[in-house]
A and B are shown apart, each in its own frame.
Chain A
């Protein structure tokens, strides 16, 4: 009984290890082809539109409401300590260092990552990826590399938009609704926030771009059979990307503190 359980645990661990290995090989192959010309600009632009432009609305909306919620919560918390004047920097630092990159990455994963996994999965099922290979076109170069580059370009841009909208959302609540002086909000922010805070968030968002496009492309590329296979691949892509974003965020935060 115990030996059987151990055997099952061992089999499960081995299969997980193999799956992780396949994912790493997939990433390695993609990175290898990323640096080999010719670079497919039209595909990259198409992917930037697919991942970025179409995620713009959701980023603006979530950024605005995140900033507003932060403004509301922080204002009353800071007031207990008589530190309402620190509302601007508190919102800005929360967004720039942590919430901006993480929340925008999670939103893009939900909007574009799932669509990326489903699209590549359907291409696999309908033999479009086989067709590429049969035509002597490398599917990594044609499909995956443009997505990876688009992810690296789009994620920091979306994070910037999220941060700006979020800061204005906080301004709207803190200054326009709760009566904090506008000068206090901006001047304190200017004093407390430095370039390192902004850059640390952007570095994070670049790495999130790699994680999301890598995981979602891989799950789509290796999808199972039928509609169930695509559905499973999409779900796994979103869940794994989200978990990796949060875990990697903690790891990077601990390095950048």
Chain B
């Protein structure tokens, strides 16, 4: 369903993606792991067409997202949900308005239906009661939960999670992971989770891909990754400081 072909991207002469190729099947959840600053978030933004590559393709159901424009790009993006690293909640809107935003913009739902839907989503993420607060009044974990509710409110076919649990306490982190799993069971979305939560995240994903030195070093099931003899994978999973992975 999502196919990334030979994706290259550089910033100010520094190559971040050096020919990334990856295929994610419909309904599959893939964890994208790798060192910080190695281009995982950049790859995620390419998948939804927020960034343009130097060369390469991202095919969503055989459609190259970089060739879409105007209405067709808009239609394509409505199939996505994106959880940003910092939540990216709109400061000028309340929690309720943030979650209701897409329902108001993209559907013809009545206000009563929107209210019911938003409250349901907020209840799912344990944020019922915070609907009148502003994002500035929320903690990091609360922002992530509201952002998750916002990302899932339109029942997306494809969900992109950019470090959904980074910086959170272990309990909130586990709750968010459980919520992602429950939502996947309910919505059957195709998901990509950029994460450092190893091996905890392996419980909710079908496959894992390691991005190293701008390329996918290895892809496999969580068990295959944990047992992998690939030096970079083994180093990353064990957290060893010695090995092929080095700070850039």
Using a CB–CB cutoff of 8 Å, the interface residues on chain A facing chain B are 46, 122-123, 126-128, 130-131, 133-137
Please judge, given known A-B contacts A126-B86, A127-B85, whether A133 and B50 are in contact too, CB under 8 Å: yes
Nearest-CB residue, chain B, relative to A46: B92
- Residues of B near A136 (CB, < 8 A) are 73-75, 77-78, 106
A133 contacts B77, C-beta separation under 8 Å: yes
- Residues of A near B50 (CB, < 8 A) are 130, 133-134
Please judge, given known A-B contacts A134-B82, A136-B106, whether A128 and B90 are in contact too, CB under 8 Å: yes
A126 contacts B78, C-beta separation under 8 Å: no
Q: Chain A's nearest CB lies how many Å from the CB of B102?
A: 6
Question: Can you list 11 A-B contacts with CB-CB less than 8 angstroms, sorted by A residue number?
Answer: A122-B91, A123-B91, A128-B89, A128-B91, A130-B50, A131-B84, A133-B50, A134-B77, A135-B77, A135-B101, A135-B105
Count of chain B residues near A, Cβ 8 A? 22
Q: Mark B83-119, 1 if CB is under 8 A from A, else 0.
A: 0111011111000000001100110000000000000
- Does B161 reach chain A (CB closer than 8 Å)? no
B74 contacts A131, C-beta separation under 8 Å: no
Please judge, given known A-B contacts A46-B92, A123-B91, A128-B90, whether A134 and B85 are in contact too, CB under 8 Å: no
B77 contacts A126, C-beta separation under 8 Å: no
- Residues of B near A131 (CB, < 8 A) are 82, 84, 88, 90
B105 contacts A127, C-beta separation under 8 Å: no
A130 contacts B91, C-beta separation under 8 Å: no
Give the complex CA separation of A45 and B73 in angstroms.
Answer: 29
Q: Chain B's nearest CB lies how many Å from the CB of A206?
A: 26
Cβ-Cβ contact count across A and B, 8 Å cutoff: 45
Give the complex CA separation of A137 and B91 in angstroms.
Answer: 16
Give the complex CA separation of A130 and B90 in angstroms.
Answer: 11
A130 contacts B88, C-beta separation under 8 Å: yes
Give the complex CA separation of A127 and B82 in angstroms.
Answer: 11
Using a CB–CB cutoff of 8 Å, the interface residues on chain B facing chain A are 45, 48, 50, 73-75, 77-78, 80, 82, 84-86, 88-92, 101-102, 105-106
A134 contacts B91, C-beta separation under 8 Å: no
Known contacts A126-B91, A135-B101, then 15 further A-B pairs from the complex at CB < 8 Å, ordered by chain A residue: A126-B88, A127-B85, A128-B88, A128-B89, A128-B91, A130-B45, A130-B50, A130-B84, A131-B84, A131-B88, A134-B80, A135-B77, A135-B82, A135-B105, A136-B74
Give the complex CA separation of A127 and B163 in angstroms.
Answer: 14
Q: Chain B's nearest CB lies how many Å from the CB of A74?
A: 44
Q: Chain A's nearest CB lies how many Å from the CB of B152?
A: 12
Give the complex CA separation of A153 and B184 in angstroms.
Answer: 48
Top 3 closest pairs, chain A to chain B, by CB: A136-B77, A131-B88, A127-B88
B80, B86, B88: which has the most chain A beta carbons within 10 Å?
B88
Please judge, given known A-B contacts A133-B50, A136-B106, whether A127 and B78 are in contact too, CB under 8 Å: no
- Residues of B near A126 (CB, < 8 A) are 86, 88, 91
Nearest-CB residue, chain B, relative to A43: B92
Give the complex CA separation of A131 and B101 in angstroms.
Answer: 11
Q: Chain A's nearest CB lies how many Å from the CB of B12?
A: 12
Q: Chain A's nearest CB lies how many Å from the CB of B196?
A: 19
- Residues of B near A137 (CB, < 8 A) are 105
Give the complex CA separation of A171 and B24 in angstroms.
Answer: 75
Q: Chain B's nearest CB lies how many Å from the CB of A33?
A: 12
A134 contacts B48, C-beta separation under 8 Å: yes
Give the complex CA separation of A93 and B48 in angstroms.
Answer: 56
- Residues of B near A130 (CB, < 8 A) are 45, 50, 84, 88
Give the complex CA separation of A123 and B92 in angstroms.
Answer: 10
Q: Chain A's nearest CB lies how many Å from the CB of B158?
A: 11
Give the complex CA separation of A205 and B15 in angstroms.
Answer: 47
Give the complex CA separation of A246 and B58 in angstroms.
Answer: 48
- Residues of B near A128 (CB, < 8 A) are 88-91
Give the complex CA separation of A122 and B92 in angstroms.
Answer: 12
B50, B73, B75: which has the most chain A beta carbons within 10 Å?
B50
Give the complex CA separation of A128 and B92 in angstroms.
Answer: 11
Q: Chain A's nearest CB lies how many Å from the CB of B52?
A: 12
Contact of A135 among B89, B91, B102 (CB under 8 A): B102
Give the complex CA separation of A131 and B99 in angstroms.
Answer: 13
Nearest-CB residue, chain A, relative to B154: A135
Give the complex CA separation of A126 and B147 in angstroms.
Answer: 13
- Residues of A near B78 (CB, < 8 A) are 135-136
- Residues of A near B86 (CB, < 8 A) are 126-127
- Residues of B near A123 (CB, < 8 A) are 90-91
